[in-house]
Amino acid sequence: MTATNAGTGSVPVLGADLKRTARTTGLLYLGLALTGVLGSLMVRGQLFAADDPQATLANLVEHESLARLGILLEMAIVLTQALTAMWFFRLFRSVDAFAAGSVAVFGMVNAVAILGSAALLATALDVAQDASLAAAGDAAATVQLLYVVSGHLWGVGAMFFGLWLIPMGWLVVRSRWLPPLLGRVLVVGGVGYLVSAFVTYLFPDADLVTGLLTVPATIGEFWIVGYLVILGIRAPQAVDGPAGRPDAT
C-alpha cells in the first residue's frame, strides 16, 4: 500500500512493498552473480583452449553436454541481468527516475551483449557437430574464432557493466535506504570497471592493473547483494529535491 508524506514533499514511500522489492532485487542480482561465475569458471574455462583451436574443437565434440550447459548458463545470465535491471528501476524510480532508468538501460545493453555471446557459443557447437558449416572448411579455426568473438563481447560489454554501477551507487547515496559508503564504493567500482574495459584493449598485457581496477566493483556488488537479500533496505526516509525543494519525481 502506497503512502506519501504530502506535507514534506518527499518521494512516495512503499513500506513493506518496497522492502519486498529490495529483497527480490537482491535475489535476482545473486542469481546473476552465480550464473556468471558458473558460466565463466566451471564451463568456459574447461572448453576453450586459447592457444589451441584443435583442443577447443575436441572439447566441444567430447563434452557436448558441458558445452550446452555453458550456452544455457549464458542465457540464464541474460535473463537474470535483464530482470535485475528492471527490478532496480522498480526499486529506485521514486528516488530519481532518470538515474533509475539509466541503471535499467545500461543493464539491458549488457544483457544484449551477453545474448550475442550465447548465440556465438551455440554456433560454435553447431560447427563442431557439422564441419560443413565451418568457414573455408576449417572447423577448428571457425570454432576458435567464435569463442574469441564471444570473449570480446564480454570484454567490451564490461563498459556497460561499469556504467550501470555508477547511477546505482548514486541512488544508494541519495535514497539513504542503504549505507552511503556502499553507494560510494559502487560509484568508484563502476568507474574502475569502465576504465578497465579500455585498459584491457589499450594495454593487453596489463592483467594485474585491470584486475585491481575491478576490485572495488566486486566488493560493492557482494555488499549490495548481501544487504538487499538479508536486510532489504533501511526504514524508508524522505528524499529532498535539489536546493531543498521537494523532489517532483
Q: What is the pLDDT of residue 72?
A: 96
DSSP 241: -
Number of folded domains in the chain? 1
Among 6-10, 82-86, 89-93, 138-142, the minimum mean pLDDT is found in 6-10
Q: Are 244 and 41 in contact (CB under 8 A)?
A: no
Find the domain containing 119 and state its range. 16-157+221-231
Q: What is the pLDDT of residue 235?
A: 65
In-domain check, residue 171: no
Q: How confident is the model at residue 206 (pLDDT cuts 50, 70, 90)?
A: confident
Q: How confident is the model at residue 197 (pLDDT cuts 50, 70, 90)?
A: very high
H-helix or E-strand spanning residue 141: helix 139-175
In-domain check, residue 243: no
In-domain check, residue 66: yes
In-domain check, residue 152: yes
- Cα–Cα distance, 22 to 182 (Å, whole number): 15
Q: What is the pLDDT of residue 39?
A: 86
In-domain check, residue 43: yes
Q: What is the pLDDT of residue 229?
A: 94
Average pLDDT over residues 203-211: 88
Q: Are 127 and 143 in contact (CB under 8 A)?
A: yes
Q: State pTM to two decimals.
A: 0.83
- Cα–Cα distance, 156 to 144 (Å, whole number): 19
Calculate what percentage of the chain has a pLDDT beyond 70: 88
In-domain check, residue 122: yes
What's the whole-number average pLDDT of the chain? 87
Question: Which candidate, 185, 172, 117, places its Cα nearest to that of 147?
Answer: 117
- The per-residue pLDDT for range 96-110, each reduced to its tens digit, is 999 999 999 999 999
In-domain check, residue 193: no
In-domain check, residue 245: no
